[in-house]
Structure 1
Amino acid sequence: MTTGIIGGGIAGLSCALALARCGHKVEVFERAGAFREVGAGLQVGPNAMSALAELGLARRIAELAVSPPAIRIHDGLSGNLLSQLQLGPEFENRYGQPYRVIHRADLLRVLVEKAAETRNIQLNTSHELIALKQDGKTISATFANGATTSHDRLVAADGVHSVCRKLVFGGKGPVYAGHTLYRALCPIEDYSWLTHSDCVHLWLYPGGHIVHYPVSSGKQMNIVAAVEQ
C-alpha cells in the first residue's frame, strides 16, 4: 500500500516516518523548494516525546532541545510568582518522558534527516498541489510543475491554509478568532539579568499573556506575546 503526504512540515514528516515503520511506501510532497520551517519555539510535552522516541529521534532531539527545570507562572502586572510546576526527574519518572523545548527548525531538521535515510520514504520538493481526483480505488494528485501521482491513500498535512481541504471541502479556509501572536528570537546573552532563565515562564495579564523559554541548545530565547484584538 502506498501513501502520498501533501506537506513536508513537522506533521507530514512525522506521519511519513510512522507509516514507513509499519512497512508502507510513502511519498512526501512539499510545495517549497526546500524543507524549511517558519516560526520559533515549540514546547514538546511527554506525550509528543514518547511519539518522537518511537520514531527513533529522542537522542538527536536531546542534543538540540532544552530540558527546562520548571514552568513558572507569574502575574504579568505585579510580577509575583503565582505557581510553579517542577519538570525534573520526578516529572519524567511519572510521565515516562522529559518535557523539552526546541526551535521548530531544529525539530524539522531532525525529521528531514531521518526521513532522508529511511528506505520507504521518498521526499519531493517544489510540488505545489493544484488538483485531486479519486476513482474509488486510488487518489491522484496533480501539481503545478506538471507532475502527477497516484496512491492508495493521501494524507493532508499542508497546514492551516490547506489546499487539500479546499479541494475536498471547498469553503473559505480558516477564520480569524481575534487573537494575535507576536514572536521573537533573541540571543540568550540579552537575558543574563533574568533569574531562572532556563525555565519556561508564563506571564498572565488582562487580554493576553507572554511566554518565553530558551531554545537552540540554550543559545536563543524564544518569546511569544499573545494579545486579544
Structure 2
Amino acid sequence: MSTRTVTVLDYGSGNVRSVVRALEHVGAEVVLSAKPDDVLGADGLLVPGVGAFRAVMQGLKDVDAPRMIGRRVAGGRPVLGICVGLQILFDEGVEHGVRTPGMAEWPGTVERLRADVVPHMGWNTVRPPEDSTLFDGIGDERFYFVHSYGVQDWSFDVTQPAMKPPQVTWSDHGGPFIAAVENGPLSATQFHPEKSGDAGAQLLRNWIEGL
C-alpha cells in the first residue's frame, strides 16, 4: 500500500506535535497546515481539539475549517476528530451556561459530565459495536481520556431508511458518554489515540488503512 498523506489541521489547538508524531509512527506522511490545498487534498484530515468548545469553534472558523471539513465529508474524503475535535461535530456545546453552536454533523449536546470527579482523566474501557472499523482488534483495550465535557445522550432519526445510522462507541464516567463515532468518511474519538499507547497506535493505523 502506498503511503497515505494526512493533514493535521493547524488552527491554534495545543499539543498537535504528539498527534503528528503518532501518525508518522504508524506510517503516514503528515503535514501540519490549514492551507486549503493541504486540507482538501490530503488522503485524510485529522482535527485535533484541546480546551473550551467555544474557543475551538472560533479557531476553526478563523481558518475557514467548517467549510473545508464540510466539503471533505460531502465528497466522501475521510476526517478524524480527536477530543474537542469530536465535540464540535455535534449540534452545540454548553459550558458555564453559555451555548455555542457546533457543526451539527451529528445530533447531540456537549455538556459537563455527570460525575462526582471531573475532569475524567486517565485510562478507561470502551464499548464499540462489533463491526467497528476503528476498533478492529482493539475493542477490549483501554484508552486515555482527558475531558470534563461530553455527549451523554444520543438519538438518530431512524425514519430515514436511506441513511445508515452512525456507529457509536460508549464509555462510562458517572454515567455513559460517547467515546467515538464512525459515520462514513467522518469519524471521531473523545479519547486521545496519540496518548493511548499501542491500542491508540492501532486505532490510527486502522483509520489510515481505510483512507
TM-score by length of structure 1 reads 0.25
TM-score by length of structure 2 reads 0.27
Higher strand share: 1
Bigger relative CO (Cα 8 Å, ≥ 6 apart): 1
Q: Which of the pair has more CA radius of gyration?
A: 1
